[in-house]
Structure 1
Amino acid sequence: MHGNRERNPVTALKTGPETDRETSPADEEPADEKIDAFCHILPRACADRLFALDDVPALANLRRRVMDIPALVDLDVRFRQMDEFPGYRQLINLAAPPAEDFGTPRSAVHYVRMANDALADLTAGHPDRFAGFCAAVALTDVDAAVVELDRAVGELGAVGVQIYTHVQGHALDEHRFAPFWARAAELDVLVQVHPCRNATWPDYPAERRSRYEIWWTLGWEYDLSAFMARIVFGGILERHPSLKLLIHHGGSMIPHFSGRVGPGWDQLGSRTPPEQRADTEGPPLSKRPLDYFRMFYADTALFGAPHALRCALDFFGPERVLFASDSPYDPEKGPGYIRSSLADVHRMDLAPGERAAILAGNLRRLTKGRLTG
């Protein structure tokens, strides 16, 4: 141990006072099934490991972020929060930081094995709370990641896998990641995509660090959108059209800028001088770029912005949108984003069947009977 490290959430986290709030549509809805398709947890063994690593700079800001969120670690706190929402269960995944940031590739492989065992135990022990889990993998060692994905799905019962928008700054359309994409497609599992950057990613080339937490508020959305573009133009969806890629935060920027994504990328190369032609060349695509972007799935984790959800629904269609909250990272440290996400869904002009599909049916269809209950 080095210096004065942060408090360990296993022993230090306490439940804070309830936050005053107004009544929302989510408060009065019936006990219809609701499965949160993108929310986070930190099993106790993982929390211990996270707070033991004082010499990994990439973990510093995320340790600070999680250390005062009781529901990440304390199940009693988490379950009390969930009780507010009748019929509500969660598809859990491992809270950030990415496993790739845990020192050496060998250390990262050890961490994800421990994490997946813990996530499987939580799901098996609380099927009334957790409908399933998405496995963690460490893509610094692609072969080991494929082995762990097979183990998590085949032995532990994972219904999907969570990845991040890059691997230590490397884009996921690099050739070395091809075996992972092939195996994820073969296993036919849900692939949750989470953004990833920190304050060391500057806002402008002349600066050394991001200011005002722009790296999070706007940077994460750019990360998601750039990831989608590289998956499209890198030919990943061309080679594996059955991939089920769930993009966090409503599909990020793509629905809102579809006018640029569509006609703009129909003219790919027109803005690039001939000597930079290689920057626009990739594998041949059989469809318009816009058509590939519509092949992604999006969640409802938009934090009380119904206009943004409406845009995502218009772009992807109700059959490709899944209810999710990003809990427990709201100002209330748990229930706030669940409440606002449910309220947003209920504000939409949807047929009852469409609403039920978003709340749980689409996830059940994509996971093909692998959920508990």
Structure 2
Amino acid sequence: MIHVKIDAFCHLLPRAYADRFFAIDDAPALRNLQNRTRNIPALVDLDVRFRQMDEFGDYRQIINVAAPPLEDFGPPGRCAEFARLGNESLAGLVRDHPDRFAGFCAAVSLNDVDRALDEVDYAFGELGALGVQIYSHVDGHPLDEPRFDPFWERLAASGKLIQVHPNRTAAWPDYPSESRSRFEIWWTFGWEYDLSAFMARMVFSGVLERWPELKFLIHHGGAMVPHFAGRVGPGWDQLGARTPESEKADVEGYPLTKRPLDYFKMFYADTACFGAEDALRTSIRFFGADRVLFASDSPYDPEKGPGFIRATIRNLTDLDLTDDERAAIYHGNVTRLTDLGVRA
């Protein structure tokens, strides 16, 4: 059976946004990712991107603005300007190319929560965004700080999707004795730790207890959580049981009404496992086929576009799934979560 495919986590740099982004030279935090994105034509060149997409038949993308996070761009005013430019540009691409782009998730800068709320209202109400893309921390601050509560409340009430992207640079060392991460460990392992830590903070701070309606889509197959289910489950069932009295404050959180494991299963995950079939199988088993969304992380594969799409489709073909489960992963789940009209 041929399935409609909606790629739920794809990155893009609209032309006007890209021109301004690459011109910034006074924000050191941007330099690494400016360099990592500069030579990927499909991020900006739609002709290249569309030729790549043609390989996959009835295939469309939900797009967002590629990393780095807006908070790295400089003063809050500039960050807000880039959010507006990015969102209006993404909305224009969806409007002009509905056969290519099923929708977009809005960019927000959370270094100013009030401005972020205004941008969310504009993106949802005026531009038709399907959700937002956020990062796993804001300038090094966890997203369970009380100042972010109005954001979670607004997103819960909206019913919109929340794409969660990792965020770390080489400035985060691998060991306390060092000042820089080496060998891109910050990316290969660090980004997955960032996502997993974000999930844990959403659980133990009570964000999901207070706002169970939140629809968090965790990038990269749900990161580390599915692969360490024994530690997340029976391990965290013992939280605090072995903690010295002098360190009890480290494990005190919001009163939870369920096992920690049950909250972790409330997240959604995508299929962006870069062709690692066993990893994808584990993610689907942990979250369930009804909470996994097809996504490729395009265009960051070695081919700079189609490679991870092709590999993910191959994985989903080879895995022992029913046809209904494949249909749910390819388009059914994202349709349900975003009220997106999809021709099946």
Q: The TM-score by the shorter chain falls in which range?
A: over 0.9
* More displaced stretch, 362-371 vs 322-331: 362-371
1:332–1:369: structure 2 CA closer, same or farther, 3 Å change rule? closer
Determine if the alignment matches structure 1 residue 227 to structure 2 residue 210.
no
Structure 2 residue 301 is matched with structure 1 residue 352: no
| Separation in 2, partners of 1:363, 1:214 | 32
Q: Which moved more, 1:168-177 or 1:267-276?
A: 267-276
Instruction: Measure how far apart 1:271 and its partner are.
Output: 3.1
Is the contact made by 1:132 and 1:371 (CA closer than 8 Å) also made in structure 2?
no
Letter in 2 for 1:49: R
Question: Deviation digits for residues 213-253 of structure 1, max 9, x if unmatched?
Answer: 00000000000000000000010000011111000000010
State the number of aligned residues.
Answer: 344
Q: Counterpart of 2:69?
A: 98
Which of 225, 237, 241 aligns to 1:270? It is: 241
Tell me by how many angstroms 1:372 deviates: 9.3
Partner residue in 2 for 1:60 = 31
CA–CA distance in structure 1, aligned partners of residues 169 and 267 of structure 2: 25
The equivalent of 1:119 in structure 2 is 90
Of 133, 136, 144, the match for 2:107: 136
Q: Which moved more, 1:34-43 or 1:268-277?
A: 268-277
Partner of 2:280: 309
> Is the 1:194–1:248 contact (alpha carbons within 8 Å) kept by the matching residues of 2?
yes
Q: What does residue 216 of structure 1 align with? A: 187
Identity of aligned residues (%): 67
- Residue number in structure 2 paired with 1:13: none
Q: Find 1:46's aligned residue among 8, 13, 17.
A: 17
| C-alpha displacement of 1:270 | 2.2
**Is 1:280 the counterpart of 2:274 in the alignment?**
no
State the partner residue of 2:176.
Answer: 205
Counterparts of 1:272 and 1:202, CA distance in 2: 27
Give the whole-Å Cα distance in 2 for the aligned partners of 1:86 and 1:51: 33
Does the alignment pair 1:172 with 2:107? no
Q: Which residue of structure 2 aligns with residue 22 of structure 1?
A: none
Q: How far is 1:272 from its partner?
A: 2.0
Q: Aligned with 1:170: secondary structure? A: coil
- Aligned partner letter, 2:326: R
Which structure has more helix as a fraction of its residues?
A: 2
- Residue pair 1:157, 1:370 contacting (<8 A) in 2 also: no
- Give the secondary-structure state (helix, strand or coil) at the position aligned to 2:220: coil
Matched, 1:333 2:304: yes
Partner AA of 2:53 in structure 1: M
The reply to whether residue 187 of structure 1 matches residue 134 of structure 2 is: no
5+ unaligned residues in a row in structure 1: which ranges?
1-29
Q: Distance in 2 between matches of 1:366 and 1:351?
A: 21
CA-CA distance at 1:369 after TM superposition: 3.3
Task: State the distance in 1 between where 2:125 and 2:18 align.
Answer: 26
Q: Summarize deviations over 1:85-139 as a string: whole Å, max 9, x none.
A: 0011000000001011110011101110010000000000000000000000000
* 8 Å contact kept, 1:132–1:372: no
Tell me the SS of whatever aligns to 1:303.
coil
* TM-score where L is the length of structure 2: 0.98
2:340 corresponds to 1:369: yes
Letter in 2 for 1:275: S
The answer to whether the 8 A contact 1:31-1:86 is kept is: no
In structure 1, C-alpha distance between the alignment counterparts of 2:197 and 2:228, rounded to whole Å: 13
- Point out the more displaced range, 267-276 or 76-85: 267-276
User: Do structure 1's residue 298 and structure 2's residue 269 form an aligned pair?
Assistant: yes
Name the TM-score, length of structure 1 as normaliser: 0.91
Does structure 1 residue 146 correspond to structure 2 residue 103?
no
